[in-house]
Amino acid sequence: MGNVERQISPASVVREPLSISVSTAVDNYLESMDGHSIENLYDMVLSESEMPMLECVMKYTGDNQSQAATMLGLNRGTLRKKLKKYGML
């Protein structure tokens, strides 16, 4: 018998909620700190996640800023400001 490539539809893939990924990342970070003092964790998590989120959404929308802004729940001007902030424009 020959090799048969199996197709998987996106609807059949089980994905964990984003909150689980965030919890895992924060838990791993806290564990790696090994008891050392931590400050501004909230701001750090937001700044560390905003740029990759923007990159992913821009890629997903084919760099269509209007679609990306809608997807993110931002107005287009705010999106452009964020893209400039991260050197993505």
Q: At what angle do helices 65-72 and 41-60 cross, to 10 degrees?
A: 140
Considering only 13-17, 41-45, 59-63, 82-86, which range has the smallest mean pLDDT? 13-17
Calpha distance 88→21 (Å, rounded): 25
pLDDT of residue 11: 63
pLDDT surpassing 80 at residue 78 = yes
Quick one: pLDDT at residue 16? 83
- The answer on pLDDT for 14 being more than 90 is no
pLDDT over 90 percentage in the chain:
74
- Per-residue pLDDT, averaged over 8-24, amounts to 79
Domains of the chain plus CATH, in order, are 51-89 (1.10.10.60)
Mean pLDDT, rounded, of the chain: 89
